[in-house]
Amino acid sequence: MKKRAFSSTTTKDQPKPTTSTKHQRKNVAASASTNEIQESWKHYFEDGRQAFTASQYKEALQYFTQALRLQPTNLTLLDSRSATYDRLQQWDAAVKDAKMMIKIAPQVSKGYLRLGKLVTSQPQQQNEKTYRQAALVYRRGCSKVDEGDPRYALLTTLASDMESKVNADKRRIQGQRDPLHILPYDVLDLIFTYLPFHRRVACTQVSSDWNRFLRHWPGMWRQLDFITGATKHDVVSRKTLTSYFSYTRGRHIRSFSLSASKPKTDYALQLLIDQDCQYLEYLGFSNSGFSLNLFSRTLRLMGKQLTHLYLDNCDTPLEPIFTQLSAICPQLTHLYYGSELKTEFITTMDAQHTLPRLQQLHLVSNASQSTLDVILAQCPNLTHLVLPRIYVSVATLLLRHPLPHLRVYYHDACSTMSKQSLWESALTTTTIPPPPTPGKVGGWVAFSAMGTTLDDHTLNSIVTTHRTTLEIINLNQTVGFSNQWCSLLLPPPALPLPLENEGEANPSGFISPLVELSLNQCTRLDDTDLCRVISACPRLQVVGLAYVCSVTNTTLEHLAQLPHLKRLDLTACPQITGSGLRRLVDLRRHTLKKLLLNDCAAIQPDAIQHARSVLGRTAVECTFGKR
């Protein structure tokens, strides 16, 4: 077929048309039949199609454009030119023609098919985003195009294919970012070991891969902790307990803790027996009653391995529990017992049955002096003794039971501590501490006697004996002692040197290791006593002087010389003023993290504002009338 020329030329010798000739030609053009126009654009289209087949895309583009000048709404011409633009990598122009097709005929499938193909035609941009865009185009076409359209089925198929590619690409990206597919097994094991049990359970919901890995990971079911992270009491069902215990078949549980009703606790104890959990090292129940018979059977099963026992808000008396522990749990190192019941031992303990490895005893109960005598006689190697809510004499207790290996003594007759402070939970580690070295006796690290009576002889003896090791002294609301112990923290006088070493320096070398000192409501100490103690303890980081009326600006000056001071409680100290506060804040601006100035009436607002501007608003607490 002979191709049409795009334009014609006139020769110079052709005469110029007259006005009448112009009118004649205009009338001829106006009277041209539609058939001639149709025949003309078809010739251009056929020429463009042949050029496209011959890969002559620029020439084909010219023919298709010429044809569109005659038929601007022809879908076939727009589709052909869009495909030509695509081959010429003029993507924006191709998309414009495809969108024009949809605008002209939204009920025809051709425009949606072309636009969807263009969206995914660029290899460098084939990703989840382009697949999703193409899927949206095809789905829109499915909603607009009549089902009788011959290409409707193709639209549906392409939409499903694009959605499948979106999901596959999403899974591929997740797989590339998923630590389960990147990190080695030993690293994953280390990471999940640091997570508490309820966080591991949450991780099983991340994906099927995570669920599969954690269910078959041996460390997942070693520590069944249903207390940490629990939003309420008795939240775990029997079905959940049975399901989790079924995963432990062939493995050995090392830790189990539960907060539930008595029937459910008995059910859990029976599961421990049925699963033969004889290697259990940690057993804990919170707000849970239990059958003493089932509990005894459980102890007999795991008694040789049990190292930690946690019983909080227990409705079973301590005497039968402690009797069995001393008889069948020789490896027990940590015991926490909390109960509203009055703890009273009726019978004496067998001297042959002791707990030689017990190191931490937390007794949150109303126990008498005689009961403590029986218990402490069975625990000769205690390192931590915590006795909230027990009204006994500290002097009598320490006199009857020297406890040579004791490191931490905590006694609060006024209130209970938080469970987090009371119990150093062994959910993350159940390593048994080594037994005390024979012949070697260490000093106390922490001494807390709050809300009780403490005489000078006992306090002076404690400070003198353990001043080289004491890091914490807490005497909040304690009475009965004077200021004699303050001078005992001072360095001892240097001894004279032998004659052969005369001329050498003779410093004592003693620096008190005290880092925390709480003297809230200790009203018998004056300003001189406080300054003496502060000067003798340069390592202090936490100081509590609330409701001590003898604190003055001189005391603040000595506190300002502490290079490591982090927390200071000056609540209700009426003699300190703004000048002393400014001096303290300016010198300790880089170390002080918390400053309590509640009910300090002599400090003006400008000094409080200065402290907040230097330390930060959250670091300074100042309220009135909220004791």
pLDDT tens, position by position, 396-435: 888 788 888 999 999 887 654 444 444 444 333 333 334 4
**Contacts of residue 113, Cβ cutoff 8 Å, sequence gap at least 6:** 141, 151, 154, 155, 158
Position 427 scores a pLDDT of: 34
Position 373 scores a pLDDT of: 85
**pLDDT tens digits for range 568-577:** 999 999 999 9
- Dist. CA 534–CA 558, nearest whole Å: 7
- Dist. CA 282–CA 430, nearest whole Å: 7
- In a domain, residue 90? The reply is yes
- In a domain, residue 199? The reply is no
Position 470 scores a pLDDT of: 93
- In a domain, residue 167? The reply is yes
Position 501 scores a pLDDT of: 44
- In a domain, residue 125? The reply is yes
Position 408 scores a pLDDT of: 93
Examine the pLDDT at 555 and tell me if it is beyond 90: yes
- Dist. CA 420–CA 333, nearest whole Å: 18
- For residue 262, which amino acid is it? K
Q: Containing H/E element for 366?
A: strand 360-367
Give the rounded percent of residues in the chain with a pLDDT score beyond 90: 37
Q: pLDDT-derived band of residue 621, with 50, 70 and 90 as boundaries?
A: very high
**pLDDT tens digits for range 140-165:** 888 888 888 888 888 888 888 888 87
Examine the pLDDT at 29 and tell me if it is beyond 50: no
Q: pLDDT-derived band of residue 509, with 50, 70 and 90 as boundaries?
A: low
Examine the pLDDT at 487 and tell me if it is beyond 90: no
Task: Indicate the average pLDDT of the chain.
Answer: 82
Position 533 scores a pLDDT of: 92
Examine the pLDDT at 507 and tell me if it is beyond 80: no
Cα(first)–Cα(last) distance of the chain, in Å?
104
Position 438 scores a pLDDT of: 42
- In a domain, residue 132? The reply is yes
Q: pLDDT-derived band of residue 282, with 50, 70 and 90 as boundaries?
A: very high
Q: Containing H/E element for 474?
A: strand 472-474
Taking residues 234-262, what's their average pLDDT? 86
Taking residues 277-285, what's their average pLDDT? 92
- Dist. CA 290–CA 294, nearest whole Å: 8
**Contacts of residue 502, Cβ cutoff 8 Å, sequence gap at least 6:** none
Give the rounded percent of residues in the chain with a pLDDT score beyond 70: 81
Higher pLDDT, 439 or 93: 93
Examine the pLDDT at 593 and tell me if it is beyond 70: yes
Residue 564 DSSP SS3: coil
Q: pLDDT-derived band of residue 352, with 50, 70 and 90 as boundaries?
A: low
Q: Which two tokens stand for residue 277?
A: 């959990």
Position 419 scores a pLDDT of: 46
Taking residues 246-258, what's their average pLDDT? 81
Q: Are strands 620-621 and 360-367 parallel, antiparallel or unpaired?
A: unpaired
Residue 412 DSSP SS3: strand
Q: Which two tokens stand for residue 608?
A: 């409080």
Taking residues 115-128, what's their average pLDDT? 75
- In a domain, residue 94? The reply is yes
Position 165 scores a pLDDT of: 79
Position 18 scores a pLDDT of: 47
- In a domain, residue 260? The reply is no
Examine the pLDDT at 46 and tell me if it is beyond 70: yes
Domains: count for the chain:
1
Position 1 scores a pLDDT of: 44
Position 617 scores a pLDDT of: 92
Higher pLDDT, 159 or 562: 562
- In a domain, residue 337? The reply is no
- Dist. CA 471–CA 444, nearest whole Å: 8
**pLDDT tens digits for range 51-63:** 999 999 999 999 8
Asked if 559 contacts 530 with a C-beta cutoff of 8 angstroms, the reply is no
Examine the pLDDT at 622 and tell me if it is beyond 60: yes
Examine the pLDDT at 563 and tell me if it is beyond 90: yes
Position 9 scores a pLDDT of: 39
Rounded to 5 degrees, φ, ψ at 376 are -65, -25
Highest mean pLDDT among 18-27, 209-218, 283-292: 283-292
Q: What is the CATH number of the domain that holds 148?
A: 1.25.40.10
Examine the pLDDT at 14 and tell me if it is beyond 70: no
Q: Range of 60's domain?
A: 28-177
Q: pLDDT-derived band of residue 385, with 50, 70 and 90 as boundaries?
A: very high
